[in-house]
Amino acid sequence: MDKYNDVSPFVIIKSDVTRRSFIYTDRALGALDKSKHQYQQRVLIGSNGGENAAVPVSLLLRDGTSIIGTPSKTAKNPYVVDQIDGKLYLTDQGEIVEEVHYWYKPDYYDKFTSSGTPMWQVASARPQRLDIDPNSHCHFWNKGNGCKFCNINANSTQSEKECNMSKQLTAQDVYETVKEALKQPGAFTNLKMSSGSILSGAEIFDDEVDMYIEMLQAAGDNFKDKKFPSTIVASAFSEKQLARLYENTGLMTYTSDIEIPNEALFAWICKGKHNEVGYAEWKRRIIRAVDIFGAGNVSSGIVGGCEMAQPHGFTNEDDALKAVLEEAEDFASQGVSVVHCVWVPMHGSAFHNQQNPSLEYYVRLAKGLSDLRKKYLLNVDMDNYRKCGNHPDTDLDRGNLD
């Protein structure tokens, strides 16, 4: 932290905790209050709980930022969440690092839709964002070409089997859950939808676009105005598909993840996307979305550090960072924010045995991406610290004034 004393220490802690993972002491788990805290959640990537059903879903830091992650039994050097003198702390080798809080449970969580679906299985809640993932199955895996860092289908199959959690949501359930969620004053500032890719349709992704239109319209029926603060994290749609989406829904912003901002590595790690669309076209489509949604209202996520996956990734951190930031600058210069999460080689993904880069790499990456937004005057309100919480770089933007 001394070396990067102009970077928020909370960002550094968050990056390292995500990178190294964490576990809970029994005392810390005893502090979980099921009536107040979230202990089960529908997520696309990661884990929906399963055998860890009584584990807090995530952590809040004192500055209002989040650490999004699940404890890992196989982590070699994890942080430890402990309860000391009635407060919860992240500890490292027995030393207190920082105070944390468990995520609170929204009022709608324990309610049911008219079809009997638990509302927490329809929408999950980040600190200020309503998350609805209508389809938890990615078609790229059908051909064996899913992204190597991702465990979406393994996770959704396990959740369906163990928790009877449906992979697909219905529009009526979405409508009713959003309606209930909006009854809680001050709880949400954004609605986000995401899904596994759906390749079918007259044109690739046409059926995915149709699904988003149906689901966004169902959610949108709860709002006074046609447009409402919202985003989707979706496949790279064509201009025609984007226009159809924008014109027929309340959607205000759009994200499609380039995942690995390097064509050769994208072709290896995201083989399905590369085979069906191609890196250059995937990127072109994201940039063209700026014509519809406006500069700053389009972002692209990268799995930070995955560019160092072996055997084909960069072997030198300086080279990797240079390549990533150069490509991110090309996006930023054309109105697209690049945001990063910390690559966790998770169980159920093809990369589960890999090692992610150093903490210093992540600090430099977060600062580099945040500085690019400053340079190109892009705000990232659509994906900031209080909405997503999964991007150390957008946490940093909070310390800068427009």
CB 320 within 8 A of CB 357: yes
Nearest approach, Cβ of 9 to another protein (angstroms)?
A: 6
Interface region with another protein, contact rule CB under 8 A, candidates 115-123, 178-186, 216-224, 354-362: 178-186
CB 242 within 8 A of CB 286: no
Q: How many residues does the chain have?
A: 402
Q: What is the separation of C-alpha 293 from the centre of its chain, rounded to a whole number of angstroms? A: 20
Q: H/E/C letters for each residue in 328-378?
A: HHHHHCCCEEEEEEECCCCCCCCCCCCCCCCHHHHHHHHHHHHHHHHHCCC
Nearest approach, Cβ of 133 to another protein (angstroms)?
A: 20
CB 299 within 8 A of CB 381: no
Nearest approach, Cβ of 240 to another protein (angstroms)?
A: 35
Nearest approach, Cβ of 80 to another protein (angstroms)?
A: 22
Options 25, 63, 278, 284; binder of another protein; rule CB under 8 A: 63
Options 127, 261, 304, 313; binder of another protein; rule CB under 8 A: 127
Question: Is residue 97 at the binding interface for another protein, with CB under 8 A as the rule?
Answer: no
Interface region with another protein, contact rule CB under 8 A, candidates 60-68, 167-175, 265-273, 290-298: 60-68
Options 95, 185, 224, 225; binder of another protein; rule CB under 8 A: 185
Tell me the C-alpha distance between 355 and 344, whole Å.
8
Strand pairing category for 59-61 and 95-102: antiparallel
Question: Is residue 399 at the binding interface for another protein, with CB under 8 A as the rule?
Answer: yes
Whether the upstream peptide bond of residue 311 has omega within 30° of 0, thus cis, is yes
- Looking only at residues 186 through 225 of this chain, which bind another protein when binding is defined by CB under 8 A? 186-187
Shortest CA distance to 400 belongs to which of 128, 16, 7, 65? 7
Helix (H) or strand (E) holding 286: helix 279-293
Question: Is residue 278 at the binding interface for another protein, with CB under 8 A as the rule?
Answer: no
Interface region with another protein, contact rule CB under 8 A, candidates 111-119, 179-187, 236-244, 282-290: 179-187
Interface region with another protein, contact rule CB under 8 A, candidates 21-29, 180-188, 331-339, 342-350: 180-188
Interface region with another protein, contact rule CB under 8 A, candidates 44-52, 209-217, 364-372, 394-402: 394-402
Question: Is residue 9 at the binding interface for another protein, with CB under 8 A as the rule?
Answer: yes
Quote the tokens at residue 361: 């790499």
| Residues 6 or more apart in contact with residue 329 via CB below 8 angstroms | 372
* Gyration radius of the chain's alpha carbons: 20
Question: Is residue 8 at the binding interface for another protein, with CB under 8 A as the rule?
Answer: yes
Options 70, 128, 177, 195; binder of another protein; rule CB under 8 A: 128
- Interface residue list for another protein (CB under 8 A): 5, 8-10, 36, 60, 62-64, 101, 104, 127-128, 184-187, 386, 398-402
